């Protein structure tokens, strides 16, 4: 109905929400997601915040830690909180690409091949122990994570939107695993280590009734469609040229440092600004500041850098982040940005 029609009928036109309203609504939903997970799980709140920011930014998340920390539970909780279609894939060394993407089967009645979709055709894909997949299956995941589509028998199929992979891997048990190649690591927006819970939290967890589902009390906070709207709202947050230049300077530092053999890619810069925009949105800002970029850099860049020191390259995530911090500390932040 046009504005003139509204004037003739006397019914007021419904005003469209401005950018400030959209940002406030998006920030409220993201905050509610973090609070809901914090009330349910025995994880550090900082880890939960990073997980939610990654999903809200439209990125894939890699959870890496020792067994029994709750990686799979967190992945399930994230999927449940946004009420999206969920599929869980338990990766094994003998898994074929068709086990993930789907397969074409000949239909005797129709006398033609019919494509049966695999578990990748979900909005939230829980990829458990992804490093146990063989290189051929990992390649199939690579196309899905980057292109949001899969190709089977020469035909390309679009994946649902939003499409998010929440993957877990165990860095301790390496027997029967295939380390993720740099190209696939680069597809993950963030790599996160949960760490052990504090003593009080672990005590409370042990006192809970045995056999109880830890997610029984978790209610959905938003829909997958809401999440896509939040991603679009954050993408419109302003980035000044000085802040963008600062982000590029951080990337260049990883490429020129003697502490690295391979620096962060331009794709890493896009992911860095996406996470910085989301952080700005949650903090109620209309623009990204240099502090947002610097705060997100260790979480976005560490897994995209190959370190020169073998003990660092094969070491825990915390040590790699410490080394990256030394590299980034030499980059001066722009004034008033």
Q: Indicate which CATH number applies to the domain containing 69.
A: 3.40.50.300
Residue 165 and residue 55 in one domain: yes
Question: Does a structural domain hold residue 5?
Answer: no
Q: What is the pLDDT of residues 292-312, one digit of tens each?
A: 999 999 999 999 999 998 888
Provide the residue range defining the domain that includes 313: 237-332
Evaluate whether residue 125 is within a structural domain.
yes
- What are the tens digits of pLDDT across the range 160-194? 888 889 888 877 666 667 778 788 888 899 988 87
Does 13 map to a domain?
no
Instruction: Judge residue 336's burial from the number of C-beta atoms within 10 Å of its C-beta, 0-12 exposed, 13-18 middle, 19 or more buried.
Output: exposed
The answer to whether residues 283 and 146 belong to one domain is no
Which contiguous run of DSSP H or E holds residue 137? Answer: helix 135-147
- pLDDT band per the 50, 70, 90 thresholds, residue 336: low
Does 1 reside within a domain? no
**Do both 323 and 184 map to the same domain?**
no
Question: Is residue 24 packed enough to be buried (19+ CB in 10 Å), middle (13-18) or exposed (0-12)?
Answer: middle
In a domain, 7, yes or no: no
Residue 13 has pLDDT above 50, yes or no: no
User: Which among 160, 174, 179, 218 has a CA at the least distance from the CA of 42?
Assistant: 218
205: pLDDT strictly greater than 60 = yes
Q: Based on the domain organization, do 126 and 267 belong to the same domain? A: no
Percentage of residues of the chain with pLDDT beyond 90: 35
- At residue 215, the pLDDT reads 80
For residues 289 and 310, membership in a common domain is answered with yes
**Is residue 10 included in any domain, yes or no?**
no
**Do 164 and 288 fall into the same domain?**
no
Q: With 80 as the cut, is the pLDDT of residue 60 above it?
A: yes
Q: How far apart are CA 38 and CA 169, in angstroms?
A: 22
pLDDT-derived band at 209 (thresholds 50, 70, 90) equals low
Question: Is 136 in the same domain as 264?
Answer: no
Same domain, 139 and 195: yes
Is pLDDT above 80 for 77?
yes
Comparing 237-251, 254-268, 311-325, the range with the smallest average pLDDT is 311-325
pLDDT tens profile 112-164: 788 889 899 988 888 888 888 888 888 888 888 888 888 888 888 899 888 88
> Which CATH number do you get for residue 261?
1.10.8.80
The total of structural domains in the chain comes to 2
SS3 76: helix
Given a cut of 60, is residue 11 above it in pLDDT? no
Same domain membership, residue 247 and residue 227: no
Residues 203 and 59 placed together within one structural domain of the fold: yes
């Amino acid at each position: 109905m046009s504005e003139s029609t509204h004037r003739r009928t006397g019914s007021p036109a419904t005003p469209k929400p401005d950018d400030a309203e959209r940002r406030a609504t998006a920030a409220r939903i993201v905050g509610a997601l973090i609070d809901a997970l914090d009330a349910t799980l025995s994880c550090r709140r900082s880890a939960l915040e990073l997980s939610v920011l990654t999903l809200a930014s439209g990125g894939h998340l890699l959870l890496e830690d020792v067994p029994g920390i709750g990686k799979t539970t967190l992945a399930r909780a994230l999927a449940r909180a946004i009420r999206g279609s969920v599929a869980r894939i338990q990766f094994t060394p003998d898994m074929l690409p068709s086990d993930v993407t789907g397969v074409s089967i000949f239909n005797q009645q129709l006398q033609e091949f019919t494509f049966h979709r695999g578990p990748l055709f979900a909005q939230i894909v829980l990829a458990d122990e992804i490093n146990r997949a063989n290189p051929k299956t990992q390649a199939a995941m690579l196309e899905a994570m980057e292109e949001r589509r899969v190709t089977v028998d020469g035909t390309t199929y679009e994946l649902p939107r939003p499409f998010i992979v929440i993957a877990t891997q165990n860095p301790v048990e390496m027997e029967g695993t295939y380390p993720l190649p740099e190209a696939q690591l680069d597809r993950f927006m963030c790599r996160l280590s949960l760490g052990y819970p504090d003593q009080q939290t672990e005590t409370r967890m042990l006192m809970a009734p045995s056999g109880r589902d830890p997610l029984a009390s978790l209610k959905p906070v938003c829909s997958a469609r809401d999440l896509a709207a939040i991603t679009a709202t954050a993408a419109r947050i302003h980035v000044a040229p000085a802040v963008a230049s600062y982000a590029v300077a951080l990337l260049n530092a990883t490429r020129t440092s003697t502490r690295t053999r391979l620096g962060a890619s331009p794709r890493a810069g896009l992911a860095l600004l996406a996470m910085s925009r989301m952080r700005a949105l949650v903090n109620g800002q209309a623009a990204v500041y240099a502090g947002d970029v610097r705060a997100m850099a260790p979480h976005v860049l560490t897994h995209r850098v190959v370190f020169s020191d073998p003990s660092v390259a094969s070491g825990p995530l915390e040590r790699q982040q410490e080394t990256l911090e030394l590299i980034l500390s030499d980059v001066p932040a722009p004034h008033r940005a």
